Amino acid sequence: MDDPPRRTNNYKNGGSTNLKYRLLLLGLGLLNVVLLISAAVIGINCTKIKQGSLHYQHPAAVQLLTELRDLFNNHSDMFMAEEDANRALETTVKNHAMLQDQLKQKNFINDGYLKQLEDLQTERTTLSNNISSLESSCGKCPLGFIYFNSSCYFFSYSESSTVKMNWHNSRADCINRGSDLVVIDSPEEQAFVSNSIRRIITDPTSWETGSWVGLTDMDIEGDWVWINNVTEVETRYWEDGEPNNRGSGGEDCASVHHSPSNPWKTRNDVNCRKHKLYWICEKMAR
Ligand SMILES: [Ca+2]
Ligand SMILES: [Ca+2]
């Protein structure tokens, strides 16, 4: 009879190892169960805590939240109102600037109208004076003569701006018109002549735009005598530096022309025969 196979030490060692594995597996399983239970408990508690925190509402907190919400809503309303007010302000400023521009334009137009009105009033005054002058001189002066202070005056420039003659021919023309060269024997007459030549002479800076008057020193040099034999004693009506009797043949006949720097200083001595100028005639009014 054969002996039963003997269990070797290896066999013994293999059984011990299996037992360890089983024990280890059992321990791990138990540990898993414990961990699973712990996770479940923690999850449940977390859920409770979370739910409790969500649903927990203290009255003071609720009031604060409500006030905070109201404040936020009020702030939003105020912000929107501020924006509306800013837009309205911008519109108002633009409208104001536009109105100011319109006002400036209207003032400019009004100034133009006022200037035109002043010009028309001045023109009406001038026309009125002319009518008065014409009415007062009506029938007193020949055609082409201007009435002033009981005399009639003819300014050749007003008849022709191109015709000029020497002093002798000019005097002859005046005589042909029933007059003679003007004799200026009062400040009023000097002012009348000064104003008249200022109106009719277009180039007041040149002596060649002057007009002959009835004043000469052809008999005695430097002794100025009017054609009515009255010696001129006034010297203030000569232009500065005149009379100077300059040039060959001298300058023995007086002319007048407008002096912008001093309307009173109108007189200049000119060569009677060589130079040709306009002339002024005078005769007594009827
Ligand atoms: Ca002279
Ligand atoms: Ca001179």
Place of tokens 């000119």: 270
b/e string for 71-107 if b means 16 or more Cβ within 10 A?
A: eeeeeeeeeeeeeeeeeeeeeeeeeeeeeeeeeeeee
Give percent of the chain above pLDDT 90.
53
CB of 164 within 8 A of CB of 270?
A: no
CA distance 149 to 182: 13
Using the predicted structure, report yes or no on whether residue 198 has a pLDDT greater than 80.
yes
What is the reported pLDDT for 170? 98
The backbone torsions φ and ψ at residue 35, rounded to the nearest 5 degrees and listed phi first, read -65, -40
- Convert the pLDDT of each residue in 200-248 to its tens digit: 666 666 788 899 999 999 999 999 999 999 999 999 999 999 999 998 8
| Confidence at residue 125, expressed as pLDDT on a 0 to 100 scale | 76
User: What is the 268 CA–ligand 2 centroid distance (Å)?
Assistant: 5
Place of tokens 């003032």: 107
Q: Which residues are in the CB-under-5-Å shell of ion ligand 2? A: 242, 244, 251, 268-269
Can you name the residues that pair with 284 across neighbouring β-strands?
151
- Dist. CA 6–CA 3, nearest whole Å: 8
Residue 68 phi/psi, 5-degree rounding, is -65, -40
> Average pLDDT in the 21-48 region?
64
pLDDT higher than 90, residue 143: yes
State the greatest distance between any 2 C-alpha atoms of the chain, in Å, as a whole number: 205
pLDDT digits (tens, 9 = 90+) for 44-61: 654 564 555 545 567 888
* Geometric angle at alpha carbon 266, from 264 and 271, rounded to 5°: 160
Residue 132, burial from CB neighbour count under 10 angstroms (0-12, 13-18, 19+)? exposed
Q: Which residue has the higher pLDDT, 159 or 64?
A: 159
**Å from CA of 267 to ligand 1 middle:** 12
Alpha carbons 283 and 172: distance in angstroms, whole number: 14
Is pLDDT of 186 > 50? yes
pLDDT at position 258 is 85
For the CA of 268, the nearest ligand: 2
What mean pLDDT comes out for the span 155-168?
95
Is residue 11 packed enough to be buried (19+ CB in 10 Å), middle (13-18) or exposed (0-12)?
exposed
pLDDT confidence of residue 72: 79
Q: Would you state the structure tokens that stand for residue 23, as one six-digit string?
A: 């024990």
Q: Which ligand is nearest to the CA of 246?
A: 2
Ligand nearest to the CA of 267: 2
* Cβ-based neighbour number of residue 6 at 10 Å: 6
CATH 3.10.100.10 fits 146-284, yes or no: yes
3-state secondary structure of 101: helix
C-alpha 25 to ligand 1 mean position (Å): 157
Domain spans of the chain, in order of start: 59-138, 146-284
